Amino acid sequence: MSTIKERVDTILSKPMTRQQFLKQVGLLLLAVVGVTSLINTFEGKNSSKSAQGGDGLAYGASVYAGGKKSV
């Protein structure tokens, strides 16, 4: 079984056109984004926190001067 480094070296040593290269890079980027989103999904993370303002508080819910509300 070959290692990842050997596989990458094999792919990079192949002669290819610009179109083939861009397809390979696009597939790699799509795979990285897909794996990252799958990991976040399985860990239960969601992106609704950023829609609420970063710290999960609605607008105006924090104390004046930007400090965080104590619990």
Could you count the other beta carbons within 10 Å of the beta carbon of residue 36?
10
Kindly report whether the global pTM for this prediction surpasses the value 0.75: no
CA distances from 70 to 14, 33, 48, 51, 56 (A): 59, 36, 22, 21, 13
What's the pLDDT at 18? 93
Sequential pLDDT tens for the chain (71 residues): 678 888 878 888 889 999 998 998 899 889 888 888 888 888 886 655 554 455 555 666 666 666 555 55
For residue 15, the 8-state DSSP code is: -
Q: Are 69 and 57 in contact (CB under 8 A)?
A: yes
Instruction: Delimit the domains of the chain by residue range.
Output: 16-46
